[in-house]
Amino acid sequence: MAANPQETQALTFRRYKDGDHTPDRWQEVIFQSSWTHKCPTYIQSTPPCQGSCPSGEDIRGWLQIVRQTEKPPQGVPWQEYAWRRLTEANPFPSVMGRVCPAPCETGCNRNEVEDHVGINSVEHFLGDYANANKLAYRKPEKQTGKKVAVIGGGPAGLSCAYQLALKGHSVTVFDEHEHLGGMMRYGIPGFRTPRDSLDAEIQRILDLGVETRLKCRIGTDVTMEEIRKQFDAVFLGMGAQGGRPLPLADSQAPNVVTATSFLKAFNDGRLRHVGKRVVVVGGGDTSIDVATVARRLGHIENAKPTDFEQAIAGYMAHDVAHVSVAQGAEVTLTSVFGVDKMQANKHEIEQAAAEGIDIRGGWAPVGIVKGPDGRATALRVAQCEAKFVGGQLKIDMKPGTEQDIPADLIVSAIGQAVDFTGLEEFNNGKGGVTADRNYRVAGKDGVFAGGDVLRPHLLTTAIGHGSIAADGIDRFLNGEEPEKRPKIDVHQFDLVRKMHERGLEVERAKEPMWGTCDSKAAVHNYDNRSDRHIITHKELFLGHFGFTPRVKRNFITLTKETALGNFEERLGALNEAQAIAEAKRCMSCGLCFECDNCVVYCPQTAVFKVKKNQSTTGRYVDTDYDKCIGCHICRDVCPTGYIQMGLGE
């Protein structure tokens, strides 16, 4: 009988590879003179998933809760506890669990074993649990009396409003649309972001006391001068919902539109018919490959494709194509990049092809063919080769390859633009707003910005901008100078907070949290380096982890026939058992997950478990330095890299 390919798949280990049969001599490791003075230190580091998360979620933290390693306070369901940890950074887990391209998964160290952890799918589960159980945020105990205007009710604006409301400030969100949500509502079709999920997560923010003024555009309906008189601070989060037209003559023809206009019309319910032949042009100015967000860290050598690994432009082009097919149209999707280099990942391209979309890579638009009535009848394209040179997109045309693609509707999905009408004072001359690391707008006291007004990117990026800007606004309202943001600017597991939660009283000011053997707050030589160190797979003991296939969500693949008129959600959620199983695949990089390896393998019984009435997550084992001989075995068998060797006190 043939062997199961999953059982025979080679795993990648740190110390030994297939064919290595000669072990290193332990004597050289134990007695090497420059090492014997070093003893175990407990170093909390940032895992690459969190370092790759633009919204700054404590991913490892809420996965620890889902997997049941970190216990919730008595009387709190683990699902709620994990959701509250998650939403400290991101108030939209149900939405983002469905549509985020998941750079965290590309950065996941588990890629070096077999496949990344399905972080998105567990986030999806927690978001849906919170909606089903009508969980609410805890309101602040007191109000500050300070008022903040948030311009734009998209992911950046709502994230900022959420964080400010939790800090006790009064917030009013201004938005020119009838409903809040921004690109989450008007840039993504409902079959990808179910409106009941989006509405529930927005309402949860409003329930904190956030006020709204809808159908109100700042700059025209209300001036910035009036805003400055009424509010103590301002956040610019109006997004870039203006589409970029094709850089061609006759691009203003009535049936040549931008992707943002197309999707807004569809989501508003105004789009009923798109014509028989639709041509969508994708790629270009917003050709951001999401995988590079994580790969720039340079840690993962064997990254696997994520479920939704594409940029906003890729989303737009494919969403327009999906909608058009559902309307019964013949759809052609062109890109200046070859199919293998398009923004969308292989999975998304396969889904589009399965629905009958004709995908043509390596073609650039060169002209629009018009009929006697002034309407476009075809898009003229030519074969090309596109590449980035010095950060700029360079397209080399191939003469003599021009051809016309017949079209009743042409959609440009090549990027987005900010509408600065009435807000010209903030335009940096490049179509965006300039801000510093605290997202303060240069030369504008009390004005902060975030999201696509800085540069079009991901929804989760906008959420992160809003959160950091809220910190800056809070300090500004308190008359404090902006803080120096950490090198790795994400939410982290807080050992002191966990100890307080367990009833172990610790005062931060009096109890040192690093480099000591006497502190009651931390185990021997604990140091939290999360603000400056991302732990790589080379610092883990990968040999601890066996092959465990990823638990994947069910995705319904439609055909050209079944797509017609089908606006149902196609992405299924994990059930509770599946969510726990997937969370258990997390390797807890940079923080103890209580495997007991160090205790079991220590030849001197120097490593021991902390007493139950004094232990917490991150404080599970300790070292008796009177017994420790510096043999390094505990470090070598630590799967998470939490134990490292350093100078003992």
Residue pLDDT, tens place only, 30-81: 455 444 567 888 999 999 999 999 999 999 999 999 999 999 999 999 999 9
The mean pLDDT value of the chain amounts to: 83
CA angle 100, 106, 112 (to 5 degrees): 150
Give the pLDDT band of residue 253 (cuts 50, 70, 90).
Answer: confident
- What SS3 string covers 91-153? CCHHHHHHHCCCHHHHHCHHHHCCCCCCHHHHHHHHHHHHHHCCCCCCCCCCCCCCEEEEECC
All structural domains of the chain, each given as residue ranges with its CATH number in brackets, are 5-134+494-529+540-647 (no CATH), 147-240+418-477 (3.50.50.60), 242-416 (3.50.50.60)
- At 550, the pLDDT band (50, 70, 90 cuts) reads very high
Give residue 373's pLDDT: 87
- Is 76 exposed, middle or buried (CB count within 10 Å of its CB: 0-12, 13-18, 19+)? exposed
Query: Of 205, 234, 80, 244, which is closest to residue 146 (Cα–Cα)?
Result: 234
What the block records as the tokens of 415 is 């990027």
Compute the distance between CA of residue 360 and CA of residue 569 in angstroms, rounded to an integer. 27
Q: What is the mean pLDDT of residues 330-347?
A: 78
So what's the pLDDT on residue 439?
94
Contacts of 274 (CB under 8 A, 6+ apart): 323, 324, 327, 329, 408, 409
User: Would you state the pLDDT for residue 529?
Assistant: 92
Whether the per-residue pLDDT at 584 is higher than 70: the answer is: yes
Q: Which of 55, 262, 242 is nearest to 152 (CA)?
A: 242
- Which is nearest to 332 in space by CA: 279, 281, 282, 381? 279
Q: Between 6 and 266, where is the model more confident? A: 266
Q: Picking from 92-96, 157-161, 338-342, 528-532, which range would have the lowest pLDDT averaged per residue?
A: 338-342
pLDDT at 164 over 80: yes
Inter-CA distances, 141 with 161, 168, 206, Å: 17, 8, 17
Q: Could you tell me which residues come within 8 angstroms of residue 622 by beta carbon, excluding any fewer than 6 positions away?
A: 523, 524, 607, 608, 609, 610
Cα angle for residues 554, 559, 565 (degrees, 5° grid): 95
Residue 310 has pLDDT above 60, yes or no: no
In this predicted structure, what is the pLDDT of residue 286? 27
Write down the pLDDT at residue 647.
66
Range scoring the smallest mean pLDDT among 238-247, 349-358, 367-376, 399-408: 349-358
27 class by beta-carbon count within 10 Å (0-12 exposed, 13-18 middle, 19+ buried): exposed
Whether the CB-CB separation of 590 and 43 falls below 8 Å is answered with: yes
With 70 as the cut, is the pLDDT of residue 566 above it?
no
Q: By mean pLDDT, which of 122-131, 381-390, 512-521 is the weakest?
A: 512-521
Q: How far apart are CA 265 and CA 24, in angstroms?
A: 66
Helix, strand, or coil (residue 578): helix
**Count of Cβ atoms closer than 10 Å to residue 64 Cβ:** 25
* Mean pLDDT within 487-496: 90
Higher pLDDT, 233 or 568: 233
Map residue 539 onto helix, strand or coil. helix
Per residue in 428-482, pLDDT tens?
888 889 999 999 998 899 999 999 899 878 889 999 999 999 999 999 999 999 8
Is the CA virtual torsion 152, 158, 163, 166 positive or negative? positive
Question: What does the block give as tokens for 269?
Answer: 């319910």
Amino acid present at 609? K
Q: What is the mean pLDDT of residues 233-259?
A: 86
How far apart are alpha carbons 137 and 80 in whole angstroms?
11
CB 454 within 8 A of CB 432: yes
Question: What sign has the CA pseudo-torsion 464, 95, 414, 370?
Answer: negative
| Degrees, nearest 5: CA angle 129-133-136 | 100
CA atoms of 81 and 70, how far apart (whole Å): 10
Cβ atoms of residues 227 and 149 within 8 Å: yes
Does the pTM surpass 0.85? The reply is no
| Paired tokens of 65 | 């809760």
- Reading across the β-sheet that carries 447-449, which strands appear in turn? 211-214, 170-175, 147-151, 233-236, 447-449
Query: Residue 251: what pLDDT?
Result: 85
More confident residue, 460 or 17: 460
Degrees, nearest 5: CA angle 198-108-569: 30
CA 358/CA 552 separation, integer angstroms: 27
